[in-house]
């Protein structure tokens, strides 16, 4: 099954089952789901979470409780600037600098109070939390189709801020865990930990991308993402 067909199937299923949560509709986005708080709490019970001091998280609604849990537990959170459009392409949320965690962890709040930083000012990332539209039991992840999550990992890998052993987790509804085969490429970042409100599943762990796949980037996209000039081959 193609990725776009799978996305539409999952979005439709979450909406029709009543398991989708605001913002509506779930289509075209990382879908929020009933039990996102429970999935986040389950993630915080894992060793990779306890061992992590620095987390890179996506900005979407279903991972809001993950971001809040991280700051409340004294962890630093990085979120990418939308579309990596600035040279300082990440927002840093440092619990020592944040007064109102509930506000700071929203999309609008993070843009307001987060400190925009470039890679030189970032600490190495201990754990990545990614949002997903769908994920398989062996860790193949389907995002919303824009490719930025994988590109963010690739850039961080090029800069030495993550490596092949950096764990990647996702929190999803059980209905987002699919049994169908998902076509993946060597640029796709596999998931090591799939956490739903009901269970925590550790995948077998595929090899992660070693860096940016330049063959997938058009000249236009390279020009739109300033940080790519720092890691581009000579």
pLDDT in tens, the chain (234 residues): 689 999 999 999 999 999 999 999 999 999 999 999 999 999 999 999 999 999 999 999 999 999 999 999 999 999 999 889 998 999 999 999 999 999 999 999 999 999 999 988 999 999 999 999 999 999 999 999 888 999 999 999 999 999 999 999 999 999 999 999 888 888 999 999 999 999 999 998 789 999 999 999 998 989 999 999 888 886
Per-residue pLDDT, 181: 87
pLDDT value at position 32?
98
Q: What is the structure's pLDDT at 186? A: 84
3-state secondary structure the chain: CCHHHHHHHHHHHHHHHCCECCCCCCCCCCCCECCHHHHHHHHCCCHHHHHCCEEEECCCHHHHHHHHHHHHCCCEEEEECHHHCCCCCEEEECCCCCCCHHHHCCHHHHHHHCEEECHHHCCCCCEEEECCCEEECCCCEECCCCCHHHHHHHHHHHCCCCCCCCCEEEECCHHHEECCCCCCCCCCCCCCEEECCCCEEECCCCCCCCCCCHHHCCHHHHHHCCCHHHHCCC
Angle at 86 (CA atoms; ends 217, 77), nearest 5 degrees: 100
- What is the predicted pLDDT for the residue at 70? 98
Domain-by-domain residue ranges, the chain? 35-203
pLDDT on residue 152: 95
pLDDT at residue 205, as a whole number: 73
| CATH 3.40.50.10420 holds for 35-203 | yes
For residue 184, what pLDDT is reported? 86
């Amino acid at each position: 099954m193609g990725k776009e067909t799978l996305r539409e199937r999952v979005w439709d299923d979450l909406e029709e089952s009543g398991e989708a949560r605001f913002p509506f509709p779930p289509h075209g986005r990382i879908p929020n789901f009933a039990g996102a708080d429970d999935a986040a709490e389950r993630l915080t019970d894992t060793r990779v979470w306890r061992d992590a001091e620095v987390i890179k998280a996506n900005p979407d609604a279903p991972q809001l409780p993950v971001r809040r849990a991280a700051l409340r537990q004294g962890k630093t959170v990085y979120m990418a600037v939308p579309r990596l459009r600035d040279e300082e392409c990440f927002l840093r949320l440092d619990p020592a600098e944040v007064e109102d965690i509930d506000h700071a962890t929203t999309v609008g709040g993070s843009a307001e109070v987060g400190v925009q930083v470039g890679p030189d000012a970032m600490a190495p990332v201990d754990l990545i939390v990614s949002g997903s539209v769908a994920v398989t039991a062996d860790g193949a992840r389907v995002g919303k189709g824009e490719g930025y999550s994988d590109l963010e990992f690739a850039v961080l890998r090029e800069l030495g801020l993550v490596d092949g052993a950096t764990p990647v987790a996702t929190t999803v509804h059980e209905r987002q865990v699919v049994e169908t085969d998902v076509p993946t490429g060597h640029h796709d970042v596999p998931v090591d930990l799939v956490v739903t409100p009901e269970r925590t599943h550790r995948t077998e762990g595929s090899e992660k991308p070693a860096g940016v796949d330049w063959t997938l980037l058009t000249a236009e996209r390279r020009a739109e993402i300033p940080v790519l000039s720092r890691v581009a081959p000579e």
